[in-house]
Structure 1
Amino acid sequence: MAALTEAGLLGTWEAAQALPAVRRALALAVAGGAQPSTVVDLAVGRRDGFLLALRESCFGPAWQALVTCPACGEELELELSGEDVRAPAPAVPAATVTAAGYEVDLRPVTSRDLLAVRRDAPDARRRLLQRCVVAARQAGREVATAELPDAALDALPGALSTCDPQADVRLSLDCVTCGHHWAAPFDVATYLWTELDTYARRLMHEVHALALGYGWSESDVLAVSPARRRYYLELAGSTA
Protein backbone atom coordinates (compact mmCIF):
# COMPACT_ATOMS: atom_id res chain seq x y z
CA MET A 1 0.00 0.00 0.00
CA ALA A 2 1.10 3.60 -0.55
CA ALA A 3 1.99 5.62 2.54
CA LEU A 4 -0.51 8.24 3.60
CA THR A 5 0.46 11.85 2.99
CA GLU A 6 0.72 14.11 6.03
CA ALA A 7 -2.67 15.55 5.09
CA GLY A 8 -3.98 11.99 4.90
CA LEU A 9 -2.55 11.18 8.33
CA LEU A 10 -4.24 14.25 9.79
CA GLY A 11 -7.51 13.26 8.17
CA THR A 12 -7.24 9.71 9.50
CA TRP A 13 -6.42 11.02 12.98
CA GLU A 14 -9.34 13.46 12.93
CA ALA A 15 -11.81 10.78 11.82
CA ALA A 16 -10.61 8.23 14.41
CA GLN A 17 -9.77 10.28 17.48
CA ALA A 18 -13.31 10.36 18.90
CA LEU A 19 -14.01 6.66 18.26
CA PRO A 20 -13.93 3.89 20.89
CA ALA A 21 -10.99 1.51 20.67
CA VAL A 22 -12.45 -1.24 18.46
CA ARG A 23 -14.02 1.15 15.95
CA ARG A 24 -10.81 3.16 15.89
CA ALA A 25 -8.85 0.02 15.03
CA LEU A 26 -11.31 -0.66 12.21
CA ALA A 27 -10.87 2.87 10.85
CA LEU A 28 -7.10 2.48 10.91
CA ALA A 29 -7.34 -0.91 9.20
CA VAL A 30 -9.37 0.68 6.39
CA ALA A 31 -6.70 3.38 6.09
CA GLY A 32 -4.24 0.50 5.83
CA GLY A 33 -6.05 -1.06 2.88
CA ALA A 34 -8.81 -3.22 4.38
CA GLN A 35 -12.20 -3.24 2.67
CA PRO A 36 -14.70 -1.12 4.65
CA SER A 37 -17.55 -3.54 3.96
CA THR A 38 -15.77 -6.63 5.29
CA VAL A 39 -13.19 -5.43 7.82
CA VAL A 40 -15.50 -5.92 10.82
CA ASP A 41 -15.76 -9.64 10.05
CA LEU A 42 -12.03 -10.25 9.65
CA ALA A 43 -10.26 -12.22 12.35
CA VAL A 44 -8.67 -9.72 14.73
CA GLY A 45 -5.21 -10.87 13.69
CA ARG A 46 -6.02 -10.33 10.01
CA ARG A 47 -7.33 -6.86 10.83
CA ASP A 48 -4.16 -6.12 12.77
CA GLY A 49 -2.12 -7.12 9.73
CA PHE A 50 -3.50 -4.03 7.99
CA LEU A 51 -2.51 -1.93 11.00
CA LEU A 52 1.04 -3.27 10.80
CA ALA A 53 1.18 -2.42 7.10
CA LEU A 54 -0.14 1.09 7.72
CA ARG A 55 2.30 1.74 10.52
CA GLU A 56 5.34 0.60 8.55
CA SER A 57 4.32 2.47 5.40
CA CYS A 58 3.96 5.70 7.38
CA PHE A 59 6.64 5.45 10.07
CA GLY A 60 9.15 2.88 8.83
CA PRO A 61 10.24 -0.63 9.85
CA ALA A 62 11.68 0.13 13.32
CA TRP A 63 9.39 0.06 16.34
CA GLN A 64 10.58 1.87 19.49
CA ALA A 65 8.93 1.09 22.80
CA LEU A 66 9.31 1.56 26.54
CA VAL A 67 8.36 -1.23 28.92
CA THR A 68 8.56 -1.49 32.68
CA CYS A 69 9.95 -4.62 34.29
CA PRO A 70 7.18 -6.08 36.49
CA ALA A 71 9.76 -7.42 38.94
CA CYS A 72 11.98 -4.41 39.68
CA GLY A 73 10.23 -1.47 38.00
CA GLU A 74 13.15 -0.66 35.71
CA GLU A 75 12.11 1.10 32.48
CA LEU A 76 13.55 -0.61 29.42
CA GLU A 77 13.96 0.84 25.94
CA LEU A 78 13.24 -1.54 23.07
CA GLU A 79 13.78 -1.31 19.35
CA LEU A 80 11.71 -3.93 17.59
CA SER A 81 11.52 -5.02 13.98
CA GLY A 82 8.52 -6.09 11.97
CA GLU A 83 9.51 -9.70 12.56
CA ASP A 84 9.27 -9.16 16.32
CA VAL A 85 5.64 -8.06 16.14
CA ARG A 86 4.40 -10.33 13.35
CA ALA A 87 3.12 -13.79 14.15
CA PRO A 88 3.30 -16.61 11.59
CA ALA A 89 0.04 -17.29 9.81
CA PRO A 90 -1.71 -20.42 11.14
CA ALA A 91 -1.93 -23.42 8.85
CA VAL A 92 -5.67 -23.61 9.54
CA PRO A 93 -7.55 -20.54 10.86
CA ALA A 94 -9.83 -22.68 13.02
CA ALA A 95 -9.51 -25.17 15.85
CA THR A 96 -11.24 -28.07 17.58
CA VAL A 97 -10.92 -28.44 21.33
CA THR A 98 -11.80 -31.45 23.44
CA ALA A 99 -12.45 -30.70 27.10
CA ALA A 100 -14.76 -31.82 29.92
CA GLY A 101 -16.30 -34.42 27.64
CA TYR A 102 -17.17 -31.92 24.90
CA GLU A 103 -15.73 -31.43 21.41
CA VAL A 104 -15.90 -27.78 20.31
CA ASP A 105 -15.17 -26.31 16.88
CA LEU A 106 -13.94 -22.70 16.98
CA ARG A 107 -13.30 -19.76 14.68
CA PRO A 108 -11.16 -16.70 15.54
CA VAL A 109 -12.55 -13.63 17.30
CA THR A 110 -13.63 -10.80 14.99
CA SER A 111 -14.19 -7.10 15.61
CA ARG A 112 -17.91 -7.73 15.24
CA ASP A 113 -17.67 -10.06 18.24
CA LEU A 114 -15.83 -7.44 20.27
CA LEU A 115 -18.44 -4.81 19.40
CA ALA A 116 -21.27 -7.15 20.36
CA VAL A 117 -19.98 -7.85 23.87
CA ARG A 118 -19.65 -5.07 26.41
CA ARG A 119 -16.27 -5.39 28.10
CA ASP A 120 -17.69 -4.38 31.48
CA ALA A 121 -20.47 -6.97 31.40
CA PRO A 122 -20.09 -9.57 34.18
CA ASP A 123 -20.33 -12.42 31.66
CA ALA A 124 -18.29 -10.72 28.90
CA ARG A 125 -15.63 -13.42 28.68
CA ARG A 126 -18.18 -16.24 28.46
CA ARG A 127 -20.28 -14.44 25.84
CA LEU A 128 -17.24 -13.70 23.69
CA LEU A 129 -16.11 -17.32 23.81
CA GLN A 130 -19.61 -18.51 22.97
CA ARG A 131 -19.70 -16.32 19.87
CA CYS A 132 -16.59 -18.10 18.56
CA VAL A 133 -18.11 -21.57 18.85
CA VAL A 134 -19.04 -22.95 15.42
CA ALA A 135 -20.36 -26.30 16.68
CA ALA A 136 -20.21 -28.42 19.82
CA ARG A 137 -20.74 -32.12 20.51
CA GLN A 138 -20.96 -34.41 23.50
CA ALA A 139 -20.69 -38.14 22.88
CA GLY A 140 -21.49 -37.50 19.22
CA ARG A 141 -24.62 -35.49 20.02
CA GLU A 142 -24.87 -31.88 18.85
CA VAL A 143 -24.97 -29.49 21.80
CA ALA A 144 -26.18 -25.88 21.83
CA THR A 145 -23.49 -23.34 22.65
CA ALA A 146 -25.46 -22.11 25.66
CA GLU A 147 -25.25 -25.62 27.16
CA LEU A 148 -21.45 -25.68 27.27
CA PRO A 149 -20.20 -25.67 30.87
CA ASP A 150 -17.47 -23.36 32.12
CA ALA A 151 -15.02 -26.27 32.18
CA ALA A 152 -15.34 -26.59 28.40
CA LEU A 153 -15.29 -22.85 27.71
CA ASP A 154 -12.21 -22.36 29.89
CA ALA A 155 -10.23 -24.56 27.50
CA LEU A 156 -10.95 -22.36 24.48
CA PRO A 157 -8.69 -19.27 24.85
CA GLY A 158 -5.47 -21.21 24.19
CA ALA A 159 -6.94 -22.64 21.00
CA LEU A 160 -8.07 -19.17 19.89
CA SER A 161 -4.49 -17.93 20.24
CA THR A 162 -3.30 -20.87 18.13
CA CYS A 163 -5.75 -20.27 15.29
CA ASP A 164 -5.14 -16.48 15.27
CA PRO A 165 -1.68 -15.84 16.74
CA GLN A 166 -1.48 -12.27 15.41
CA ALA A 167 -4.33 -11.38 17.76
CA ASP A 168 -2.26 -12.43 20.80
CA VAL A 169 1.31 -11.28 20.16
CA ARG A 170 3.60 -11.51 23.17
CA LEU A 171 7.17 -10.26 23.32
CA SER A 172 9.72 -12.38 25.13
CA LEU A 173 11.65 -9.93 27.32
CA ASP A 174 14.54 -10.03 29.77
CA CYS A 175 15.33 -7.26 32.25
CA VAL A 176 18.99 -6.25 32.06
CA THR A 177 18.86 -5.00 35.65
CA CYS A 178 17.35 -7.91 37.60
CA GLY A 179 17.31 -10.70 35.00
CA HIS A 180 13.56 -11.20 35.21
CA HIS A 181 12.06 -12.90 32.14
CA TRP A 182 8.47 -12.35 31.08
CA ALA A 183 6.14 -12.27 28.08
CA ALA A 184 4.69 -8.81 27.47
CA PRO A 185 1.53 -8.44 25.35
CA PHE A 186 1.85 -6.23 22.27
CA ASP A 187 -1.26 -4.43 21.01
CA VAL A 188 -0.56 -2.96 17.58
CA ALA A 189 -3.79 -0.92 17.58
CA THR A 190 -2.83 0.89 20.79
CA TYR A 191 0.77 1.32 19.67
CA LEU A 192 -0.18 2.74 16.27
CA TRP A 193 -2.80 5.08 17.69
CA THR A 194 -0.38 6.47 20.30
CA GLU A 195 2.20 7.10 17.60
CA LEU A 196 -0.30 8.63 15.18
CA ASP A 197 -1.82 10.84 17.88
CA THR A 198 1.61 12.15 18.89
CA TYR A 199 2.59 12.78 15.27
CA ALA A 200 -0.68 14.54 14.40
CA ARG A 201 -0.51 16.86 17.41
CA ARG A 202 3.10 17.76 16.67
CA LEU A 203 2.22 18.39 13.03
CA MET A 204 -0.67 20.68 13.99
CA HIS A 205 1.69 22.60 16.30
CA GLU A 206 4.02 23.14 13.33
CA VAL A 207 1.10 24.33 11.19
CA HIS A 208 0.07 26.73 13.95
CA ALA A 209 3.60 28.11 14.40
CA LEU A 210 4.22 28.64 10.68
CA ALA A 211 0.77 30.13 10.16
CA LEU A 212 1.59 32.70 12.84
CA GLY A 213 5.11 33.29 11.55
CA TYR A 214 4.48 33.46 7.80
CA GLY A 215 0.74 33.59 7.32
CA TRP A 216 0.71 30.21 5.59
CA SER A 217 -2.39 28.04 5.32
CA GLU A 218 -2.39 24.41 6.48
CA SER A 219 -2.01 23.22 2.89
CA ASP A 220 0.94 25.62 2.43
CA VAL A 221 2.69 24.16 5.50
CA LEU A 222 2.04 20.55 4.52
CA ALA A 223 3.37 21.21 1.02
CA VAL A 224 6.81 21.90 2.54
CA SER A 225 9.00 18.88 3.33
CA PRO A 226 9.51 18.08 7.03
CA ALA A 227 13.23 18.95 6.83
CA ARG A 228 12.58 22.36 5.29
CA ARG A 229 9.71 22.92 7.68
CA ARG A 230 12.01 22.42 10.69
CA TYR A 231 14.37 25.03 9.26
CA TYR A 232 11.53 27.52 8.76
CA LEU A 233 10.44 26.86 12.34
CA GLU A 234 13.93 27.68 13.56
CA LEU A 235 13.94 30.89 11.53
CA ALA A 236 10.48 31.86 12.78
CA GLY A 237 11.64 31.27 16.33
CA SER A 238 14.80 33.34 15.87
CA THR A 239 12.80 36.34 14.61
CA ALA A 240 9.95 36.10 17.09
Structure 2
Amino acid sequence: MATERIENPFAQRRAQTGPAQREGAGAREVRPPPESAPSRSMAPSVPARGAHKPRSDSQLRAMTGYEEEAVEARQRDSNTAALCNEIVARCSVAPGADFEAAYARVRALSTVERDASLVRIRQLSLGDVVHLQVACPACGHKNEVDFKLSALPLPEAPVPTEVEVELPGHALPAEPAARTALARTPTAGDQEDLLSAGIESESARRTFLLARVLIRYAGGEGPFDEAFVRALPIAARAAIERAIESALPDLDLGMAVQCPACGAGFESPFDVAAFFLPS
Protein backbone atom coordinates (compact mmCIF):
# COMPACT_ATOMS: atom_id res chain seq x y z
CA MET A 1 0.00 0.00 0.00
CA ALA A 2 1.32 3.42 -0.89
CA THR A 3 1.84 5.48 2.24
CA GLU A 4 3.89 8.41 1.00
CA ARG A 5 4.33 10.79 3.88
CA ILE A 6 2.66 14.16 3.64
CA GLU A 7 5.26 16.70 4.62
CA ASN A 8 6.66 20.11 3.77
CA PRO A 9 10.12 19.75 2.16
CA PHE A 10 11.14 23.01 3.82
CA ALA A 11 10.96 21.16 7.15
CA GLN A 12 14.17 19.32 6.19
CA ARG A 13 16.01 22.56 7.01
CA ARG A 14 14.82 22.62 10.61
CA ALA A 15 16.33 20.52 13.38
CA GLN A 16 13.50 18.99 15.39
CA THR A 17 12.71 16.12 17.71
CA GLY A 18 10.31 14.57 15.18
CA PRO A 19 6.77 13.32 15.65
CA ALA A 20 5.53 12.38 19.10
CA GLN A 21 6.75 8.89 19.87
CA ARG A 22 4.24 6.06 20.20
CA GLU A 23 5.33 2.75 21.68
CA GLY A 24 4.06 -0.43 20.10
CA ALA A 25 2.26 -3.37 21.76
CA GLY A 26 1.62 -2.18 25.28
CA ALA A 27 1.45 1.58 25.47
CA ARG A 28 -1.95 2.23 23.95
CA GLU A 29 -2.10 6.02 24.05
CA VAL A 30 0.18 8.89 23.17
CA ARG A 31 0.85 11.46 25.85
CA PRO A 32 -0.13 15.06 25.06
CA PRO A 33 2.79 17.18 23.83
CA PRO A 34 4.59 19.41 26.36
CA GLU A 35 3.40 22.98 26.75
CA SER A 36 6.60 24.41 25.32
CA ALA A 37 7.41 23.32 21.77
CA PRO A 38 10.99 22.86 20.53
CA SER A 39 12.58 26.13 19.51
CA ARG A 40 12.73 26.95 15.81
CA SER A 41 15.67 28.43 13.95
CA MET A 42 14.32 31.80 12.90
CA ALA A 43 15.17 33.94 9.91
CA PRO A 44 16.38 37.49 10.67
CA SER A 45 12.87 38.91 10.26
CA VAL A 46 9.61 37.04 9.73
CA PRO A 47 6.61 39.37 9.95
CA ALA A 48 3.27 37.89 8.90
CA ARG A 49 1.41 39.70 6.13
CA GLY A 50 -2.09 38.25 6.33
CA ALA A 51 -3.61 35.10 7.72
CA HIS A 52 -6.13 32.34 7.11
CA LYS A 53 -8.71 32.00 9.86
CA PRO A 54 -8.93 28.48 11.32
CA ARG A 55 -11.53 26.36 9.56
CA SER A 56 -14.85 26.10 11.42
CA ASP A 57 -15.88 22.60 12.51
CA SER A 58 -19.46 23.43 11.46
CA GLN A 59 -18.29 23.38 7.83
CA LEU A 60 -17.35 19.71 8.06
CA ARG A 61 -19.36 16.50 8.43
CA ALA A 62 -18.63 12.85 9.13
CA MET A 63 -17.64 10.53 6.30
CA THR A 64 -20.27 8.44 4.52
CA GLY A 65 -20.12 5.54 2.09
CA TYR A 66 -19.23 8.00 -0.65
CA GLU A 67 -15.97 8.91 1.08
CA GLU A 68 -15.28 5.33 2.19
CA GLU A 69 -15.48 4.16 -1.44
CA ALA A 70 -13.26 7.03 -2.58
CA VAL A 71 -10.57 6.18 -0.02
CA GLU A 72 -10.66 2.47 -0.84
CA ALA A 73 -10.54 3.10 -4.59
CA ARG A 74 -7.52 5.40 -4.34
CA GLN A 75 -5.61 3.95 -1.39
CA ARG A 76 -2.75 2.81 -3.66
CA ASP A 77 -2.41 6.24 -5.25
CA SER A 78 1.03 7.67 -4.43
CA ASN A 79 -0.38 11.23 -4.36
CA THR A 80 -1.85 11.10 -0.88
CA ALA A 81 -2.26 14.89 -0.82
CA ALA A 82 -4.79 14.72 -3.66
CA LEU A 83 -6.85 12.13 -1.81
CA CYS A 84 -6.71 14.11 1.44
CA ASN A 85 -7.81 17.27 -0.36
CA GLU A 86 -10.71 15.34 -1.91
CA ILE A 87 -11.83 13.96 1.46
CA VAL A 88 -11.97 17.43 3.01
CA ALA A 89 -13.80 18.79 -0.05
CA ARG A 90 -16.36 15.97 -0.03
CA CYS A 91 -16.99 16.39 3.70
CA SER A 92 -17.58 20.12 3.19
CA VAL A 93 -20.74 19.48 1.14
CA ALA A 94 -23.77 17.18 1.41
CA PRO A 95 -23.15 13.46 0.75
CA GLY A 96 -22.99 12.82 -2.97
CA ALA A 97 -23.14 16.54 -3.88
CA ASP A 98 -20.79 18.15 -6.39
CA PHE A 99 -17.59 19.12 -4.57
CA GLU A 100 -15.65 20.86 -7.35
CA ALA A 101 -15.96 24.34 -5.82
CA ALA A 102 -15.15 22.97 -2.36
CA TYR A 103 -12.08 21.23 -3.80
CA ALA A 104 -10.76 24.56 -5.10
CA ARG A 105 -11.25 26.09 -1.64
CA VAL A 106 -9.44 23.21 0.05
CA ARG A 107 -6.48 23.57 -2.33
CA ALA A 108 -6.18 27.19 -1.19
CA LEU A 109 -5.89 26.18 2.49
CA SER A 110 -2.50 25.94 4.16
CA THR A 111 -1.31 22.36 4.57
CA VAL A 112 -1.67 22.71 8.34
CA GLU A 113 -5.30 23.82 8.03
CA ARG A 114 -6.05 20.95 5.64
CA ASP A 115 -4.47 18.44 8.02
CA ALA A 116 -6.44 19.89 10.95
CA SER A 117 -9.61 19.38 8.89
CA LEU A 118 -8.62 15.75 8.27
CA VAL A 119 -8.22 15.21 12.00
CA ARG A 120 -11.64 16.73 12.72
CA ILE A 121 -13.31 14.63 10.01
CA ARG A 122 -11.75 11.48 11.50
CA GLN A 123 -13.01 12.45 14.97
CA LEU A 124 -16.52 13.08 13.63
CA SER A 125 -16.50 9.81 11.70
CA LEU A 126 -14.82 7.22 13.92
CA GLY A 127 -14.02 8.92 17.22
CA ASP A 128 -10.92 10.35 18.86
CA VAL A 129 -8.82 7.18 19.25
CA VAL A 130 -6.91 5.85 16.25
CA HIS A 131 -5.76 2.22 16.25
CA LEU A 132 -3.03 1.27 13.80
CA GLN A 133 -0.92 -1.81 13.11
CA VAL A 134 2.60 -0.86 12.04
CA ALA A 135 5.25 -3.37 10.93
CA CYS A 136 8.80 -2.78 12.19
CA PRO A 137 11.14 -2.40 9.19
CA ALA A 138 14.01 -3.97 11.17
CA CYS A 139 12.43 -7.21 12.43
CA GLY A 140 8.96 -7.33 10.87
CA HIS A 141 7.16 -7.36 14.23
CA LYS A 142 3.64 -5.94 13.93
CA ASN A 143 3.19 -3.17 16.47
CA GLU A 144 -0.30 -2.20 17.56
CA VAL A 145 -0.49 1.50 18.32
CA ASP A 146 -3.33 3.55 19.79
CA PHE A 147 -3.26 7.32 20.11
CA LYS A 148 -5.72 10.13 20.71
CA LEU A 149 -6.24 12.76 18.05
CA SER A 150 -7.10 15.26 20.78
CA ALA A 151 -3.43 15.09 21.84
CA LEU A 152 -2.30 16.62 18.55
CA PRO A 153 -1.37 20.34 18.64
CA LEU A 154 -4.06 21.63 16.27
CA PRO A 155 -3.69 25.31 15.25
CA GLU A 156 -6.01 27.77 16.97
CA ALA A 157 -4.53 31.08 15.84
CA PRO A 158 -4.79 32.27 12.22
CA VAL A 159 -2.13 30.81 9.92
CA PRO A 160 -0.01 33.44 8.08
CA THR A 161 -0.52 33.57 4.32
CA GLU A 162 2.70 35.50 3.58
CA VAL A 163 6.09 36.02 5.23
CA GLU A 164 8.75 38.66 4.65
CA VAL A 165 12.39 37.87 5.33
CA GLU A 166 15.57 39.93 5.43
CA LEU A 167 18.03 38.47 2.95
CA PRO A 168 21.56 37.60 4.14
CA GLY A 169 24.75 38.80 2.46
CA HIS A 170 26.71 42.02 2.03
CA ALA A 171 26.42 42.35 -1.76
CA LEU A 172 22.77 43.36 -1.73
CA PRO A 173 21.61 46.96 -2.41
CA ALA A 174 21.51 49.37 0.51
CA GLU A 175 17.81 50.17 0.07
CA PRO A 176 15.77 48.30 2.74
CA ALA A 177 13.11 47.17 0.24
CA ALA A 178 15.78 45.58 -1.95
CA ARG A 179 17.20 43.55 0.93
CA THR A 180 14.06 41.54 1.58
CA ALA A 181 12.05 38.74 0.02
CA LEU A 182 8.32 38.12 0.25
CA ALA A 183 6.81 34.65 -0.06
CA ARG A 184 3.43 33.09 0.56
CA THR A 185 3.06 29.98 2.67
CA PRO A 186 2.54 26.72 0.73
CA THR A 187 -1.01 25.49 0.26
CA ALA A 188 -2.63 22.07 0.07
CA GLY A 189 -2.77 22.61 -3.69
CA ASP A 190 0.98 23.25 -3.85
CA GLN A 191 1.56 20.00 -2.00
CA GLU A 192 -0.74 18.06 -4.33
CA ASP A 193 1.03 19.46 -7.40
CA LEU A 194 4.45 18.75 -5.89
CA LEU A 195 3.60 15.08 -5.43
CA SER A 196 2.14 14.95 -8.94
CA ALA A 197 5.44 16.26 -10.31
CA GLY A 198 7.24 13.15 -9.01
CA ILE A 199 10.44 14.99 -8.05
CA GLU A 200 12.87 12.76 -6.15
CA SER A 201 15.57 15.18 -4.92
CA GLU A 202 14.78 17.18 -1.77
CA SER A 203 16.61 20.23 -3.11
CA ALA A 204 14.70 20.02 -6.40
CA ARG A 205 11.44 19.73 -4.46
CA ARG A 206 12.34 22.90 -2.56
CA THR A 207 13.14 24.65 -5.85
CA PHE A 208 9.73 23.62 -7.22
CA LEU A 209 7.93 25.05 -4.19
CA LEU A 210 10.02 28.22 -3.94
CA ALA A 211 9.27 29.06 -7.57
CA ARG A 212 5.56 28.82 -6.77
CA VAL A 213 5.53 30.76 -3.50
CA LEU A 214 8.14 33.50 -4.05
CA ILE A 215 6.36 36.84 -4.62
CA ARG A 216 9.18 39.38 -4.42
CA TYR A 217 12.97 39.07 -4.24
CA ALA A 218 15.50 41.90 -3.68
CA GLY A 219 13.13 44.50 -5.12
CA GLY A 220 12.12 42.39 -8.13
CA GLU A 221 8.50 41.31 -8.46
CA GLY A 222 7.43 37.79 -9.44
CA PRO A 223 6.29 35.48 -10.76
CA PHE A 224 9.63 33.65 -10.83
CA ASP A 225 10.45 30.42 -12.64
CA GLU A 226 12.48 27.48 -11.37
CA ALA A 227 15.60 28.63 -13.23
CA PHE A 228 15.55 31.92 -11.30
CA VAL A 229 15.06 30.20 -7.95
CA ARG A 230 17.73 27.60 -8.71
CA ALA A 231 20.25 30.40 -9.35
CA LEU A 232 19.64 32.12 -6.00
CA PRO A 233 22.42 32.02 -3.38
CA ILE A 234 22.02 29.01 -1.13
CA ALA A 235 22.00 31.22 1.98
CA ALA A 236 19.08 33.24 0.59
CA ARG A 237 17.15 30.09 -0.30
CA ALA A 238 17.69 28.70 3.18
CA ALA A 239 16.58 31.96 4.82
CA ILE A 240 13.33 32.03 2.84
CA GLU A 241 12.69 28.35 3.57
CA ARG A 242 13.28 28.86 7.31
CA ALA A 243 10.95 31.86 7.32
CA ILE A 244 8.17 29.84 5.73
CA GLU A 245 8.69 26.87 8.03
CA SER A 246 8.83 29.10 11.11
CA ALA A 247 5.52 30.72 10.18
CA LEU A 248 3.64 27.40 10.06
CA PRO A 249 2.41 25.63 13.21
CA ASP A 250 3.73 22.14 13.92
CA LEU A 251 1.29 19.38 12.95
CA ASP A 252 2.75 16.02 11.93
CA LEU A 253 0.41 13.12 11.18
CA GLY A 254 3.30 10.67 10.96
CA MET A 255 4.38 8.59 13.97
CA ALA A 256 7.66 7.75 15.65
CA VAL A 257 7.39 4.16 16.92
CA GLN A 258 9.62 2.19 19.31
CA CYS A 259 9.42 -1.54 18.53
CA PRO A 260 9.21 -3.60 21.78
CA ALA A 261 10.44 -6.74 20.02
CA CYS A 262 13.83 -5.51 18.82
CA GLY A 263 14.07 -2.00 20.29
CA ALA A 264 14.42 -0.31 16.92
CA GLY A 265 12.99 3.16 16.51
CA PHE A 266 11.39 4.11 13.21
CA GLU A 267 9.02 6.60 11.64
CA SER A 268 5.72 5.39 10.24
CA PRO A 269 4.30 7.66 7.50
CA PHE A 270 0.73 8.88 7.36
CA ASP A 271 -1.44 6.10 5.87
CA VAL A 272 -4.68 7.59 4.52
CA ALA A 273 -6.58 4.31 4.28
CA ALA A 274 -5.61 3.11 7.77
CA PHE A 275 -6.52 6.52 9.19
CA PHE A 276 -9.97 6.80 7.62
CA LEU A 277 -11.26 3.24 7.11
CA PRO A 278 -12.70 1.26 10.05
CA SER A 279 -10.27 -1.38 11.32
Residues 87 and 169 in structure 1, CA contact (< 8 A), matched pair in contact too = no
Aligned to 2:163: 95
> What is the 5 A alignment of 1:213-228?
none
Task: Specify the SS of the correspondent of 1:155.
Answer: helix
CA distance in 2, matches of 1:176, 1:82: 23
Aligned letter for 1:95? V
Listed one character per residue, the Cα deviations across residues 177-213 of structure 1 (whole Å, up to 9, x for unaligned) are 899989x5864xxx333344x54xx8xxxxxxxxxxx
Does the alignment pair 1:51 with 2:118? yes
Give 1:132 shift.
1.7
Letter in 1 for 2:273: W
Please, what TM-score do these two structures have when normalized by structure 2? 0.52
Return 28-37 or 165-174, whichever deviates more: 165-174
How far did residue 99 of structure 1 move? 4.1
- Give the Cα separation in 1 of the matches to 2:156 and 2:198: 27
* 2:86 aligned partner: 27
Partner deviation per Cα, 1:98-117 (whole Å, 9 max, x = no partner): 34335222222123323444
Q: How does 1:102-113 map to 2 (within 5 A)?
A: 102-113=179-190
Pair 1:194 & 2:262 matched = no
Query: 1:56 is aligned with what amino acid?
Result: Q
2:206 to 104, 110, 125: 125
Give structure 2 stretches of 5+ with no counterpart: 1-59, 94-101, 170-178
Q: Which has the higher contact order (CA 8 A, sep 6+)?
A: 2
Paired residues of 1:107 and 1:134 also in contact (CA < 8 A): yes
Q: Which whole-Å CA distance do the structure 1 matches of 2:261 and 2:69 have between them? A: 42
**Residue pair 1:89, 1:165 contacting (<8 A) in 2 also:** no
Aligned-residue Cα RMSD (Å) equals 3.8
Structure 1 gaps, min length 5? 203-240
Residue aligned with 1:154, SS: helix
In the alignment, is residue 162 of structure 1 matched against residue 162 of structure 2? no
23 and 181 in structure 1: CA distance in 2 versus 1, 3 angstrom threshold: closer
Shift of 1:61: 0.4
Instruction: Give the helix-richer structure, 1 or 2.
Output: 1
Contact 2:143 2:259 in 1 (8 A): yes
Q: Report what 1:234 is aligned to.
A: none
Per-residue deviation, 1:15: 6.1
Identify if the C-alpha distance between structure 1 residues 163 and 67 changes in structure 2 by more than 3 Å, giving closer, same or farther.
Answer: farther
AA partner of residue 220 (structure 2): E
**SS of 2:103 mapped into structure 1:** coil
Q: Distance in 1 between matches of 2:62 and 2:128?
A: 13
Partner residue of 2:51? none
43, 65, 70: which one aligns with 1:12: 70
Letter in 1 for 2:249: P
- One-letter amino acid matched to 1:163: A
Q: Secondary structure at the match of 1:79?
A: strand
Q: TM-score, normalised by structure 1?
A: 0.59
* Bigger radius of gyration among the two: 1
Corresponding residue number in structure 1 for 2:216: 135
Q: 1:78 to 1:121 in 2, by over 3 A?
A: closer
Query: Is the alpha carbon distance of 1:159 and 1:66 closer, same or farther for their aligned partners in structure 2, counting shifts above 3 Å?
Result: farther
Distance (Å, rounded) in 2 between the aligned partners of 1:70 and 1:119:
24
Residues 152-179 of structure 1 show CA distances to partners (whole Å, capped at 9, x for unaligned) of 1123333333323256567677777899
